Amino acid sequence: MTFTSPLLDAHTAELYRSLVTAGVGRVADRIASADRPFTGITPGRLAEEVSAVDLDRPLGDPTAALDELDHLYLRDAVYFHHPRYLAHLNCPVAIPALLGEAVLSAVNSSVDTWDQSAGGTLIERRLIDWTAGRLGLGPAADGVFTSGGTQSNLQALLLAREEACRRADAPARTDVLPRLRVLASACGHFSVVKAARLLGLGEDAVIGVPCDRDRRMRPGALARELDRCRRQGLLPMAVVATAGTTDFGSIDPLPEIAEICVSADVWLHVDAAYGCGLLVSRRRHLLDGVERADSVTVDYHKSFFQPVSSSAVLVRDRAALRHVTYHADYLNPARSAAQGLPNQVDKSLQTTRRFDALKLWLTLRITGADAVGELFDAVIDRAAEAWALLDPDPRFEVVVRPRLSTLVFRYAPPGVSDDALDQANLHAAAALSASGAAVVATTVVDGRHHLKFTLLNPRTTVVDVADVLDLLAGHARAYLGDDLAHAS
């Protein structure tokens, strides 16, 4: 291939077609031949190879560049499509969404203003309306696509902060901000604390509400914390409930929490980044109560099987989005509004923004929502089957029965100290990853190291789960050695 110009235009359209086809072929070959989710390569070894590339001396040949990329990236990539990738909330992706990714990156629309996106604006808005309808947020709902759950949670809490400041009877914002509090599940996502810091709130602005044995927020504890805030002269600006915690997949009791928030006149945000797949699932009832939220986070790139990034934040009352609107003459918001031109920049923390909505659009138009729901139901079913294996197994302790598709457990034969078990479980996860046979995650529960399965691949079987458990037990047993012999 000869490059007359590196830019895509009418003169290079055929070059674009052949080059992208070649790249897709490389990826397809790697996916088809991957016999494990990871090669186990070490960061040090790969860093040496990447550092050796002289970026000031281009190869000039697409085939040579693809050969190099295959060596530096594709060969050792972590492949989420493999049935023994069981670590994080990374999913195998829907093929129609990949078609959307190819289209949107080539056209390169920016969906901040109509004159940069045209139909892309309307497609995104239609998907927001569709999602709001599935959530049951009502006719005044609106929202915008974001880069992910962290940004969605940040924007939702920014709106809640502004609403709290607007309603506070105080002479200045500086009198209000130190008194604002966010009440969130103790098992909720770290991005809530991160958002509070970015929003200029105090270090103690986020109050962790205790959870029950199933890792769900306790409504009674929430009510008591809200009452305590009022008595101390603090201003609860938001309650953050979770529909699908990262570690446990637990879903907070949304109807009871919503009732408390209405009584206390506090903004309710539901972080459904993980659990949003329930919107198209036969288990939709698990999200009952979400329709009463003031804002909701959804991550299509988790349980809708979309490529990163594809997320959104939605609000029950579109008027709240005015808090992120900013006038810039070059974007012509006033003139656009007068002409009836829809601008998405008026709703977003971002300005330039990818047309990520296209991926979900093509998925729904080609395979349909029910098909996506069946995929999510399949992994939830698989987690239940995995729990049935783990719960009676004397080698392991399971923290909680799964609600969605995560399982937190640890290798814990009797007679071994907790400290030794901590190290054995960490070693088992690391040794398994280094072997490349499977990838699992680790987390901390009640101060102790645990292992975690996150099942998001419908092709993962119970046999896969059983084999990975045996591998983990083998690595942990080898690490404990004499300690395990003495214990038995």
pLDDT tens-digit profile of 353-410? 999 999 999 999 999 999 999 999 999 999 999 999 999 999 999 999 999 999 999 9
Q: What are phi and psi of 448, to 5 degrees?
A: -120, 145
Q: Are 316 and 137 in contact (CB under 8 A)?
A: yes
pLDDT band at 332 (very low <50, low <70, confident <90, very high): low
Strand 142-146 relative to strand 85-86, pairing: unpaired
The HSE-up count of residue 368 (CA atoms within 13 Å, CB side) is 3
Of 56-60, 168-172, 361-365, the one with minimum mean pLDDT is: 168-172
Q: What's the pLDDT at 333?
A: 65
Give yes or no for residue 271 having a pLDDT over 70.
yes
pTM: 0.94
| CA separation for the pair 364, 40 (Å, rounded) | 36
pLDDT at 168 over 70: yes
What 3-state DSSP class applies to 408?
A: strand
The DSSP 8-state label assigned to residue 251 in this structure reads: B
Q: Per mean pLDDT, which range of 85-89, 159-163, 168-172, 417-421 is the poorest? A: 168-172
pLDDT tens per residue, range 195-252: 999 999 977 899 999 999 999 999 999 999 999 999 999 999 999 999 999 999 999 9
To which residue do tokens 């729904």 refer?
Answer: 364
Domains and CATH numbers, the chain: 110-359 (3.40.640.10), 370-487 (3.90.1150.170)
**Rounded Cα distance, 480 and 285, in Å:** 45
H helix or E strand, kind and range, residue 54: none
Helix axes 191-198, 149-167, angle to 10 degrees: 50
pLDDT tens-digit readout, 457-478: 999 999 999 999 999 999 999 9
Kindly compute the dihedral angle of the four CA atoms of residues 112, 128, 300, 100, in this order, to the nearest 10 degrees.
-60
CB 277 within 8 A of CB 360: no
Instruction: For 84-133, give the secondary structure using H, E and C.
Output: CEECCCCCCCCHHHHHHHHHHHHHCCCCCCHHHHCHHHHHHHHHHHHHHH
Q: How far is CA 65 from the centre of its chain?
A: 32
Taking each continuous run of H as one helix and of E as one strand, the counts in the chain are 18, 12
What pLDDT is stored for residue 88 in this prediction? 95
Q: Are 432 and 439 in contact (CB under 8 A)?
A: yes
